């Protein structure tokens, strides 16, 4: 069997998990090879994974995207690349259900760019394409023979579909242009350096923190697991002995149910699986089993070396010694991760974030956040607090000012943005200087003293509410940052489907139906455009109220100073309760549109009656109709009920609007006045 000898190898995605093990192995074992690694440092990449190689003379790191044809062509030519090992891909199935377009972009388009560059330069002697066992689809539960390399491809989720699509391109370029391609399809891999969105490192980190281990469905799904060093050796064998045009399965006959993996990890940490393992909602589709026939690779001389118990123990020990390797991993440790899949997300290595508990009860007699020490180890470094730093826009505004005070109270570092939202260069400079983990936008034009101002200042309203907000969302996306955007619920009005007093509120997916004021019109416009930005969390605030009754923007203060008021039930936002929740939402990487109001409605008269009862027993007011109100205002006002079910489901402790008013606004002021 002829042995292939490369000279200059390009490894894509080599700051990721499997590829970093392969790159480090080749750099160490073959000093005569030049290893060039290309990685865009996505959320699941870490330059520290390449520490063993970074100072070797035959190693070179390039920060870049395989989707850049100019960069790929430049590297192939200037580095005289003759071999490509293509690992770069989005790989987490959970993410693919929520952001499948990103998978198409990375896994199919990125592969196509590489193949086209190989065709154009005409210098590639080996192109090793790394695929997955998931392209075969689900294996029958009673099958005794695994999928072989000629089995039909039947992917069942967006991730595996994009990997199958990339394989078709690789095969086509091999046949049409004679590109010397080899494809691999591997089982699950585990070991040191793996980003904890994957099952084994996730369970290990959760066990270290004394938190529940979430099992999708009933945990009966079967998977095969290979240790990372064994897989790196498999790629070493395929590189040197694999035949052009062939496919190789990298697998193991040793299968384990997910529930059994969880139990094995519990045993390592001396935890009771009955108390620690927690069943959660299953994926939209969760293949029951992947089973491979790996005889073809064994014929090349490879075999699995690491026993399960030994590999799992070594993996656990690595994570115990490197608890902060990945920095803030709170989103990954949730049962169904919400990760921002964008280039350039900055990894902070000074602490790993504590995730919210999925259970109200502790799994041990100690705190939920206390690290559990395995019986075999005498000491462990406890997890540090997460690294957070907020960049807040809207310093002179009501909500922006309150956010700063909350950050000070919670000990969260923050800075206010100095740039104008309309100036993109100002925003970029703010982000470069502050280096935030999250951005909050509380800036906007509501009118001076009210929304009627916007009717005669339309250009200024557009500039801030539309152009500025979109600018900020776009810049944040380019920098891999989540934007918490305080919007408005004043884009709806009661209608036939949502009649006043019916208890049927407008939901997050409902289209705005109120354009009576120019302010509301611009807010509805920008909300619709922001739907295209997956890095934005839009919070619909309505008729905000706070415990500061001296603030003229406080809804209670407003109506208490009016000569006459209408009497209509509305959804409202008690800022004292909800603004801290918005910070928690940022920590949880919540995205999309949220009705940011307390559940239920309260009318003007009900508020003023409570005001009289708690604050001023002598207070009196007079009502007038909407028709009478219309004669003294320029623009109509929005009246509606918002459905807060989504927010209440995420935060079950959220109080109804009337209870929240009493607890956070009226009772504190009653105490102040009584003293």
DSSP per residue, 22-69: HHHHHHHH-TTSEEEEEE---TT--GGGGTTTTT-TTEEEEE--TT-H
3-state DSSP helix/strand/coil % of the chain, to nearest 5: 40, 15, 45
- Integer-rounded Cα Rg, in Å, for the chain is 29
Contact 294/247 with Cβ under 8 angstroms?
A: no
Q: Which of these, 238, 225, 232, lies nearest to 299 by C-alpha position?
A: 238
How many CB atoms are located within 10 Å of the residue 242 CB? 22
Contact 17/197 with Cβ under 8 angstroms?
A: no
Tokens at residue 554, please?
A: 């406080």
Active site residue 134: yes
User: Which of these is catalytic: 94, 133, 430, 527?
Assistant: 133
Q: Which residues contact 365 (CB under 8 A, 6 or more apart)?
A: none
User: Which of these is catalytic: 134, 197, 304, 577?
Assistant: 134
User: Which of these is catalytic: 159, 248, 290, 518?
Assistant: 159
Q: Which residues contact 62 (CB under 8 A, 6 or more apart)?
A: 36, 37, 38, 39, 71, 75
Active site residue 350: no
Give me the residues paired with residue 127 across strands.
84, 181
Q: Which residues contact 86 (CB under 8 A, 6 or more apart)?
A: 12, 13, 66, 111, 114, 127, 128, 129, 130
Sign of CA pseudo-dihedral 419, 424, 430, 435? positive
Active site residue 159: yes
- Distance CA(143)–CA(605), nearest Å, equals 70
> Is residue 563 classed as helix, strand or coil in its secondary structure?
coil
For residue 389, the number of C-alpha atoms closer than 13 Å in the C-beta half-sphere is 16
Active site residues: 133-134, 159
């Amino acid at each position: 069997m002829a042995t292939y000898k490369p000279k200059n190898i390009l490894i894509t995605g080599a700051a990721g998990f499997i590829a970093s093990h392969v790159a480090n192995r080749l750099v160490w074992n073959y000093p005569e090879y030049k290893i060039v690694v290309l990685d865009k440092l996505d959320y699941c990449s870490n330059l520290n994974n390449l520490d063993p190689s970074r100072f070797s003379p035959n190693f070179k790191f390039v920060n870049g995207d395989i989707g850049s044809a100019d960069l790929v062509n430049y590297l192939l030519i200037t580095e005289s690349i003759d071999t490509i090992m293509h690992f770069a891909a989005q790989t987490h199935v959970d993410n693919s259900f929520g952001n499948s377009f990103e998978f198409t972009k990375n896994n199919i388009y990125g592969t196509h760019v590489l193949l086209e560059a190989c065709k154009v330069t005409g210098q590639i002697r080996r192109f090793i394409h790394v695929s997955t066992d998931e392209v075969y689809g689900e294996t029958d539960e009673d099958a005794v023979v695994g999928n072989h390399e000629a089995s039909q491809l039947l992917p069942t989720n967006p991730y595996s579909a994009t990997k199958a699509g990339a394989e078709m391109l690789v095969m086509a370029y091999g046949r049409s242009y004679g590109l010397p391609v080899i494809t691999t399809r591997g089982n699950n891999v585990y070991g040191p350096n793996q980003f904890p969105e994957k099952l084994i490192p996730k369970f290990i980190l959760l066990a270290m923190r004394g938190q529940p281990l979430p099992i999708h469905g009933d945990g009966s799904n079967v998977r095969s697991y290979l240790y990372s060093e064994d897989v790196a050796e498999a790629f070493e064998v395929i590189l040197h002995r694999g035949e052009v045009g062939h496919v190789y399965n990298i697998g193991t006959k040793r299968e384990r149910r997910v529930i059994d993996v969880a139990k094995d990890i519990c045993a390592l940490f001396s935890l009771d699986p009955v108390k620690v393992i927690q069943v959660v909602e299953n994926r939209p589709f969760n293949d029951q089993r992947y089973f491979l026939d790996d005889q073809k690779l064994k014929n090349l001389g490879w075999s699995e070396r690491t026993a399960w118990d030994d590999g799992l123990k070594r993996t656990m020990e690595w994570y115990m010694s490197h608890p902060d390797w990945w920095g803030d991993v709170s989103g990954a440790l949730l049962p169904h991760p919400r990760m921002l899949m964008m280039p350039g997300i900055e990894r902070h290595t000074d602490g790993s974030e504590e995730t919210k508990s999925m259970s109200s009860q502790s799994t041990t007699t100690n705190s939920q956040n206390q690290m559990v020490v395995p019986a075999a180890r005498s000491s462990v470094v406890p997890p540090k607090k997460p690294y957070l730093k907020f960049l807040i826009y809207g310093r002179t505004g009501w909500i922006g000012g309150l956010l700063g005070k909350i950050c000070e109270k919670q000990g969260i570092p923050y800075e206010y943005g100095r740039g104008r939202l309309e100036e993109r260069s100002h925003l970029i400079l703010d982000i470069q200087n502050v280096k935030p983990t999250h951005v909050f936008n509380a800036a906007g034009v509501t009118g001076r003293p009210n929304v009627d101002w916007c009717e005669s200042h339309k250009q200024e309203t557009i500039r801030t509410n539309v152009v500025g907000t979109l600018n900020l969302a776009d810049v944040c996306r380019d920098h891999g940052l989540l934007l918490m955007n305080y919007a408005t619920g004043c884009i709806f009005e009661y209608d036939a489907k949502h009649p006043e007093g019916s208890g049927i509120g407008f939901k997050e997916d409902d289209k705005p139906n109120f354009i009576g004021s120019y302010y509301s019109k611009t807010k509805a416009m920008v909300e619709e455009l922001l739907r295209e930005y997956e890095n934005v969390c839009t919070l619909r605030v309505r008729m905000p109220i706070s415990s500061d009754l001296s603030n003229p923007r406080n809804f209670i203060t407003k109506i208490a100073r009016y000569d006459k008021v209408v009497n209509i039930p509305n959804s409202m936002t008690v800022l004292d309760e909800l603004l801290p929740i918005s910070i928690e939402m940022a920590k949880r990487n919540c995205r999309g549109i949220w009705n940011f109001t307390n559940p239920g409605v309260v009318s003007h008269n009900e508020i003023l009656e409570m005001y009289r009862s708690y604050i001023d027993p002598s207070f009196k007011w007079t009502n007038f109709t909407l028709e009478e109100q219309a004669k003294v205002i320029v623009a109509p006002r929005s009246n509606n009920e918002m459905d807060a079910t989504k927010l209440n489901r995420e935060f079950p402790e959220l109080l109804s609007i009337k209870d929240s008013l009493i607890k956070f606004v009226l009772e504190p002021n009653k105490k102040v006045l009584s003293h």
